[in-house]
Amino acid sequence: VQLQASGGGLVQPGGSLRLSCAASGRIFSVDVMGWYRQAPGKQRELVATITIGGSTNYADSVKGRFTISRDNAKHTVYLQMNSLKPEDTAVYYCNADLISYNNFRRQNYWGQGTQVTVSS
C-alpha cells in the first residue's frame, strides 16, 4: 500500500493549485484522508481532513481558501488551494487511515510529500 501525491509547484500570491493523492495497493477500505504541511523550521501541521462520509475539518489558516474533497471509488483525495499566500509555502503531505487486504487492520499511511512554493 502506498500514497502518491502530485500537483505541487511554484505559484504567485493569489494563485491556485490543486493537489491530488491516490492510495494504491490491496486496499479494503479507506477511512479518513487528509493533508498536512511542513514549512522549513516548523512542525508538521494539519491542513484539512475528510471522512469517508464527506465530513471535513480545516485549519483556521486555510478556511475559506482551501477545499478538500475525495473520490472514494478511486481512493483519491484532493486539495484545491485558492488565494494562496507566501505563508502557505511548505511541503504538503497526504495521509490516510485505511484497511488493506494484507492484514485487515486499520493503519495510518503517509505520502511522500509535494512542494508548494508561493512567491512572486
pLDDT along the chain (120 residues), means of 10: 94 98 93 96 97 97 98 96 98 96 91 96
pLDDT number for residue 103:
85
pLDDT number for residue 102:
86
pLDDT number for residue 81:
98
pLDDT number for residue 71:
96
* SS3 labels along the chain: CEEEEECCEEECCCCCEEEEEEEECCEEEEEEEEEEEECCCCCCEEEEEECCCCCEEECCCCCCCEEEEEEHHHCEEEEEECCCCHHHCEEEEEEEEEEECCCCCEEEEECCCEEEEECC
